[in-house]
Structure 1
């Protein structure tokens, strides 16, 4: 991604839980204690870009902060995604859910989280493609998702999934127009 990519910037701005490993003078305001020392073992939510910098920097053998997995990638969420990826409102967890997951996986070696995110993207992408291809064509027949379920699913898309929906919808629309011109010609 580009340095100027707004989605990357917004992903890096998402807050992640951190635990301070050292006492830091004059940073008590991060823990609602202005002007005081931020004590070690204090948990604070920091933007990802700052948390990463503090976690990897350290002149001594001890780092300033320890990063924890964000709540949007907690075991409870991973279990829900394993059970049924289409039923999880990913947008409520994080607007840039998959971007956050990719950035966190750069910092942590979590094979299971990686596998769950990849599988949920695959399943959800197929569902997104189905909804985008059939948007505006009325109710689908057969065993498809009802209109209410489809609306709820589409509301729960993160920004990357919304981009996929737009691209699929636009290409399906262009294909219908092209097919109409071929039949006329």
Structure 2
């Protein structure tokens, strides 16, 4: 991803739950407390970029990380179980518009083999349906419309590429026949 990649910027702006590992004076406004401190053990949702920076930073006095990152709700065990059961029924866009980008960013921070397997299997299963919908325009407008509304941004780009390539092949075939 590049510096000017809008999808990367939107993914990094996604809020993730963080737990403060020490008391921080004067930052109570992050919890909605206009005056005061953030206490040790406080849970606050921060943008991914900030949570990552604070998790990698260490206190000078104790050497412990300032915050610990928790998994975002979009990658909770409940969502992963739903993806395992039937990936086509999960509305990824309602969870996070950049679902797979968020998954990739979280996997950079946490090493979880099961999450890698679930995300890759669900993308493969959904990609087959996306390709079918792209080649069959009636399906995307009819009974597949609910599925199409739930696509995340990567899947929407895949749909556009599949649709445009199918259209280009049809145009090429008609040009050959004439």
Establish whether TM, by shorter chain, passes 0.5: yes
For 1:160 and 1:65, the matched residues in 2 are separated by 30
CA drift of 1:133 comes to 1.0
CA drift of 1:147 comes to 2.4
Count how many residue pairs are aligned between Structure 1 and Structure 2: 176
Secondary structure at the residue paired with 1:17?
A: strand
For 1:37 and 1:171, the matched residues in 2 are separated by 56
CA drift of 1:37 comes to 0.5
Which 4+ runs in 1 deviate beyond 4 A? none
Deviations 1:34-68 (A, max 9, x none): 12011010000000000000000114421100000
Determine if the alignment matches structure 1 residue 157 to structure 2 residue 143: no
Secondary structure at the residue paired with 2:18?
A: strand
- Tell me what 2:47 maps to: 47
For 2:176 and 2:86, the matched residues in 1 are separated by 40
For 2:36 and 2:26, the matched residues in 1 are separated by 5
- Tell me what 2:8 maps to: 8
- Tell me what 1:121 maps to: 123
- Tell me what 1:132 maps to: 134
After TM superposition, the score normalised by the length of structure 2 is 0.96
Cα root mean square deviation, aligned? 1.3
Give runs of aligned pairs for residues 161-180 of structure 1, distance below 5 A.
Answer: 161-180=155-174
For 2:3 and 2:128, the matched residues in 1 are separated by 30
For 2:134 and 2:12, the matched residues in 1 are separated by 29
Secondary structure at the residue paired with 1:2?
A: coil
| 5+ long unaligned stretches in structure 1 | 140-144
| 5+ long unaligned stretches in structure 2 | none
